[in-house]
Amino acid sequence: MQQFFVFVRKECYHIFRDKRTLLILFGMPLVLIILFGFAITNEIHHAQIAVLDQSRDSYSQRLVRKMTASRYFEVNRYLSSYKEIGPAFRQGDVKLVVVIPGRFAHSFEHEKVAAVQLLTDASDPNTATTLINYANAMIIQYQQELTGEIKLPLTIRSEIQMVYNPSLKGVFLFVPGVMTLILMLVSAMMTSITITREKELGTMEILLVSPLKPVMIIAGKVVPYIVLSFIISLIILAMGTWVFAMPVKGSLLLLLLECILFGLTALSLGILISSMTNSQQTAMMISLMGLMLPTVLLSGFVFPLESMPKPLQVVANVLPAKWFNIILKDVMLKGAGLRQVWMPTAILCGMTVFFLAVSIRKFKIRLS
Amino acid sequence: MNNYSIVTKDLTKRFGSFTATDAITFEVGQGEIFGFLGANGAGKTTAMRMLCGLLKPSSGEAKVAGYDIYTQTEQIKKRIGYMSQKFSLYEDLTVKENIRFYGGIYGLSNQQIKEKTHALLDRLQLEKEARQLVSSLPLGWKQKLSFSIALLHDPSIVFLDEPTGGVDPITRRQFWDLIYESADKGVTIFVTTHYMDEAEYCNRISIMVDGKIKALDTPAGLKKQFNAESMNDVFLQLARAKS
């Protein structure tokens, strides 16, 4: 046991004396959370619109006022002819053009049908769709205001309720995502690097010649990172709840245990990587390309999994990140208990055991 | 047989179809300085790794410190010290922390570590640098420190794998003074080297060519046997005979 503590202490010296490691460990989570929380968001505020109002009557003006009253749209300019639409888009600020044809009020009152044309800059399709949806919603609302409760012969009214995230905050998606990413980075990449570093420096040989058991060497290297990854999950959770008001509806204990479990899964992956290569460079490349990239792209945290082609969805199943993401969202937002998340939990456990078993097979007690 | 610290008989290691060490047989006496020479790729490192328990032999027998290298590696590990050709201390730890760490993993008590640290620093005259990071020491000092740390747990045999690579002749000489000191205390020294002047310092040397031991005697005996002026000539004759 004393040997083990000596080893862990040495490992802590390595971690706390290396500024790069410290930066990755503590700087990265903060930067990512802040970036994703504040800067990178798929919500749209103050989109610049241009208005081509050919009616200039009270109805059309009320419509424009209605749209700009929300914080979603801001009138960037008024256009006076169709010819100006192209240049307005090309200048880049204007994302949406609202064209109100002449005699808007007249058509509405007498013909019972009035048209509004929406043009959007679809070079960014997601933004375009979102803007159209916003604008449509407002136009429908406006129409209802004007017509009042006119009884139509038949109507289907859809009552929409956004459950679990009523204000559609993007942060709720990003906090679990960033947590997954960071735990993967810290646990998998850092362990694979720290183990391969000993191999590269030749100190691994000295350790293997010593009476230390190989399992003890690996455990000694990994334990500090388990503790660190746990502390980091706490930091991210704390920032999520206090800065971004992300709820933890489920049991906090379950959430923390799941964090530890995912930490272990990532660590076993890190050990596996380090058993495949002897160089820090390679270990880092494998972790970045083989783990980080799929984690970002395929865990369902940036791009929705459901809209991916089938083969990619299958690949995503192999990623621990996908399952951890599900667990996090279920527990934090939906208040799920172990009974609801037993399956992803079991999958993560299975993966951990599998990775460890493979690495133990690969980790040669006698370096040959 | 009891005063031999290393005994091997037909020790062989094959990697696939390549035979790295081919049935080598030799004995090393207790307290002897045994030089293990050979060109790069002659099989020195492989042989040494088998003796340290880092590699499993393909066939043959060997005993290190009286223990079998197949079944008693745990006992062997406690009784050997090892210094690799790559520098084997942690650069981002101080001198003292390195000593503490290696003492710790060999299971020395705090009291023992304290005493040994003091003695070691005193002998190497490193007291002033005890709290400095190892990375700030000159190479020669690092190597002396590395050697002393390999001896920290009082092993009966130390394996030195090209310990003086890249070191100037004066430091190399000082390093050998340390080796002699330990050998006088009865520690067996098993050393591989490229430097022929170092070969002269050994009690006995073996020269490996293509996985086989081609010559094994005292330096003087070898020079006589090959009718050569220096160890360098002996070595060249053997290496040329190969091609």
pLDDT, position A21: 83
CB within 8 Å: A205 and B54: yes
Range of the domain at A138: 47-147
Helix, coil or strand: residue B100? helix
In-domain check, residue B194: yes
Residues A55 and A181 placed together within one structural domain of the fold: no
Point out which residues pair with B14 in neighbouring strands: B19
Residues from B in contact with A at Cβ < 8 Å: 15, 49, 52-56, 74, 77-78, 80, 82-90, 92-93, 97, 100-102, 104-107, 159
DSSP state of B16: T
Quick one: closest CA in B to A200, which residue? B86
Residues A228 and A353 placed together within one structural domain of the fold: yes
Measured over the CA atoms of residue B194, residue B200, residue B205 and residue B206, the dihedral's sign is: positive
Structure tokens at A354: 């599998």
Quick one: closest CA in B to A368, which residue? B55
In-domain check, residue A52: yes
Residue tagged 């599900």 (tokens): A326
CB within 8 Å: A209 and B80: yes
Nearest of A74, A75, A68, A72 to residue A44 by alpha carbon: A72
CA distance to partner chain B, nearest, from residue A225 (Å): 18
Measured over the CA atoms of residue A290, residue A291, residue A296 and residue A297, the dihedral's sign is: positive
Quick one: closest CA in A to B15, which residue? A368
Chain B residue numbers with beta carbons less than 8 Å from the beta carbon of A7 are 101, 104-105
In-domain check, residue A152: no
Residues A353 and A295 placed together within one structural domain of the fold: yes
Pairing of strands B4-15, B59-64: antiparallel
CB within 8 Å: B82 and A207: no
Range of the domain at B200: 29-53+71-242
Point out which residues pair with B192 in neighbouring strands: B36, B161
pLDDT of A360 strictly over 90? no
| B208 vs B86, more confident | B208
Rounded Cα distance, A40 and A52, in Å: 31
In-domain check, residue A159: no
pLDDT, position A68: 85
Measured over the CA atoms of residue B147, residue A202, residue A183 and residue A347, the dihedral's sign is: negative
Structure tokens at B171: 């430091």
Q: Among A30-34, A251-255, B98-102, which stretch is predicted with the lowest mean pLDDT?
A: A30-34
Rounded Cα distance, B83 and B167, in Å: 15
Residues A186 and A305 placed together within one structural domain of the fold: yes
A203 within 8 A of B90, measured Cβ to Cβ: yes
In what helix (H) or strand (E) does residue A48 lie, and over which residues does it extend? strand A47-53
Pairing of strands B188-193, B33-38: parallel
CA distance to partner chain B, nearest, from residue A262 (Å): 30
CB within 8 Å: B90 and A211: no
We report the CATH number of the domain holding residue B201 as: 3.40.50.300
Q: How many domains does chain A have?
A: 2
Predicted complex ipTM: 0.86
pLDDT of A154 strictly over 70? no
Quick one: closest CA in B to A216, which residue? B105
CA distance to partner chain B, nearest, from residue A18 (Å): 8
**pLDDT tens digit sequence for B23-50:** 999 999 999 999 998 888 888 888 998 9
The partner residue sitting opposite B56, judged by closest CB among A17, A212, A366, is A366
Quick one: how far is CA A178 from the chain centroid? 6
In-domain check, residue A318: yes
B115 within 8 A of B146, measured Cβ to Cβ: no
Rounded Cα distance, A253 and A268, in Å: 23
DSSP state of B129: G
Point out which residues pair with A239 in neighbouring strands: none
Rounded Cα distance, B75 and B66, in Å: 10
A194 within 8 A of A224, measured Cβ to Cβ: no
The partner residue sitting opposite A212, judged by closest CB among B80, B84, B105, is B105
Confidence of residue A153 (pLDDT cuts 50, 70, 90): low
Q: What rounded mean pLDDT belongs to chain A?
A: 84
CB within 8 Å: A210 and B56: no
- Ramachandran angles phi, psi of B10, nearest 5°: 50, 40
| A7 shares contact with chain B (CB less than 8 Å) | yes
What CA–CA distances, in Å, run from B120 to A210, B183, B243? 20, 17, 47
CB within 8 Å: B104 and A3: yes
| A201 shares contact with chain B (CB less than 8 Å) | yes
Quick one: closest CA in B to A367, which residue? B54
Residues A143 and A230 placed together within one structural domain of the fold: no
Residues A203 and A342 placed together within one structural domain of the fold: yes
Residues A175 and A204 placed together within one structural domain of the fold: yes
pLDDT, position A347: 94
- Ramachandran angles phi, psi of A337, nearest 5°: -105, -175
Rounded Cα distance, A367 and B118, in Å: 34
Contacts of A102 (CB under 8 A, 6+ apart): A54, A55
CA distance to partner chain B, nearest, from residue A30 (Å): 27
Confidence of residue B187 (pLDDT cuts 50, 70, 90): very high
Residue tagged 């694979």 (tokens): A192
Measured over the CA atoms of residue A74, residue A80, residue A85 and residue A86, the dihedral's sign is: negative
pLDDT of B96 strictly over 90? yes
In what helix (H) or strand (E) does residue A58 lie, and over which residues does it extend? helix A58-69
| A208 shares contact with chain B (CB less than 8 Å) | yes
CA distance to partner chain B, nearest, from residue A183 (Å): 26
Q: How many domains does chain B have?
A: 1
Instruction: Look up residue B30 and give its amino acid.
Output: Q
In-domain check, residue B63: no
What CA–CA distances, in Å, run from A198 to A20, A282, A286, B149? 17, 14, 18, 18
pLDDT of A344 strictly over 90? yes
In-domain check, residue B142: yes
Structure tokens at A269: 């992956």
pLDDT, position A366: 41
Residues A252 and A303 placed together within one structural domain of the fold: yes
Side-chain-side CA neighbours of residue A35 (13 Å) = 8
pLDDT of A367 strictly over 50? no
pLDDT of A348 strictly over 90? yes
DSSP state of B186: T
| A62 shares contact with chain B (CB less than 8 Å) | no
Structure tokens at B136: 């700030």
pLDDT, position A368: 42
Residues A124 and A270 placed together within one structural domain of the fold: no
A342 within 8 A of A258, measured Cβ to Cβ: no
Which candidate in B76, B100, B105 is best for mutational testing of the A interface (most A CBs within 10 A)?
B105
Confidence of residue A365 (pLDDT cuts 50, 70, 90): very low
CA distance to partner chain A, nearest, from residue B173 (Å): 24
Q: Among A135-139, A342-346, B10-14, B184-188, which stretch is predicted with the lowest mean pLDDT?
A: A135-139
**pLDDT tens digit sequence for A73-99:** 888 889 888 888 888 888 878 888 999
Mean pLDDT for B102-131 is 91
**pLDDT tens digit sequence for A239-250:** 888 888 888 888
Residues A91 and A117 placed together within one structural domain of the fold: yes
Residues A31 and A89 placed together within one structural domain of the fold: no
B158 within 8 A of B150, measured Cβ to Cβ: yes
pLDDT, position B1: 42
In-domain check, residue B105: yes
Helix, coil or strand: residue B65? coil
**pLDDT tens digit sequence for A15-61:** 898 888 888 888 888 888 778 777 666 667 788 889 998 888 888 88
CB within 8 Å: A206 and B74: no
CB within 8 Å: B82 and A368: no
Quick one: closest CA in A to B76, which residue? A211
Q: What rounded mean pLDDT belongs to chain B?
A: 88
pLDDT, position A150: 60
Residues A20 and A51 placed together within one structural domain of the fold: no
- Ramachandran angles phi, psi of A113, nearest 5°: -135, 125
Chain A residue numbers with beta carbons less than 8 Å from the beta carbon of B55 are 366-368
Measured over the CA atoms of residue B194, residue B197, residue B201 and residue B203, the dihedral's sign is: positive
Rounded Cα distance, A283 and A289, in Å: 10
As a 3-state breakdown, chain B gives helix, strand, coil percent values, each rounded to 5, of 40, 30, 30
Beta-carbon contacts below 8 Å between A and B: 78
Pairing of strands B4-15, B18-29: antiparallel
Chain A residue numbers with beta carbons less than 8 Å from the beta carbon of B86 are 201-202, 205
Rounded Cα distance, A81 and A102, in Å: 12
CA distance to partner chain A, nearest, from residue B54 (Å): 4
- Ramachandran angles phi, psi of A112, nearest 5°: 65, 5
pLDDT of A131 strictly over 50? yes
pLDDT of A152 strictly over 70? no
B177 within 8 A of B171, measured Cβ to Cβ: no
CB within 8 Å: A211 and B107: yes
Strand order in the sheet with B59-64: B18-29, B4-15, B59-64, B67-68
Instruction: Look up residue B72 and give its amino acid.
Output: Q
A348 within 8 A of A324, measured Cβ to Cβ: yes
| A74 shares contact with chain B (CB less than 8 Å) | no
In-domain check, residue B163: yes
In-domain check, residue B183: yes
Q: Among A152-161, A310-319, B160-169, which stretch is predicted with the lowest mean pLDDT?
A: A152-161
DSSP state of A244: T
Confidence of residue A168 (pLDDT cuts 50, 70, 90): low
